[in-house]
Structure 1
Amino acid sequence: MARGRKRRVWSDEEKREICAQTRVPGMSVSQVARRYNANTNLVFTWLRDPRFAPGDPPEATSTFLPVEIIAERGCPEPAVPAIESRIEIDLADGHRLRITGPYDPEALARLIRGLSA
């Protein structure tokens, strides 16, 4: 006699509950099956059975949400204009910096001082 797991017997109510959870938006049949430690193919079998399968899935409905448009607040202009360029800096200790696109010169100077220290 083979030793293995005992076969689980599911009540009709449990089958209905498990099948109903497969209709929750964002849930897959395999996720529900794992939650109940059931075989995914078994859950698909129950879904084909009209006794356990829930009705048609609810249709997605559109809902309008209230929107309030407010005046745009003025944003301060950056103190340093963005510069589109490519810079390569070779430091004495062997570090190499490559900067492409806009950068903050003050932050770059702090970085160089930190690497040179």
Structure 2
Amino acid sequence: MEVVGRVSGRRNWSDGEKLEVLADAFRPGVRVRDVLQRRDLSSGLVYTWRKQARLGLLAGTVPALPAFAEVRVAEVESIAPAAQLSVPTPGLISIDLPGGVRVSVDAAVDAGALARVLSVLG
């Protein structure tokens, strides 16, 4: 007698089944690999479903909002008055754009990158 572990061909998974697998695989403290082995799934399939769920493409899901990181604003140390003077630095190029934007680069700037930055800033 021969036991076949996988059935050839593709299986159609309902959105509910996909969400059930995702909930199981991405629970805190659970290794995704263990869930994949237990359910006989490939990792690529599960990560494709995860992306679909994030985009709201599976029934019962909404697109995920971007994740934000906590930002803390630190106190700025006062600058010595002598350092506040506008002393030209050798090799430094300052470009004043309309609207009060100033771009400062040194002599080693990549010309292509500078052109892209200036085109965006207008």
> TM-score range with shorter-chain normalisation?
0.3 to 0.5
Q: Which has the larger radius of gyration?
A: 1
- TM-score under structure 2 normalisation? 0.36
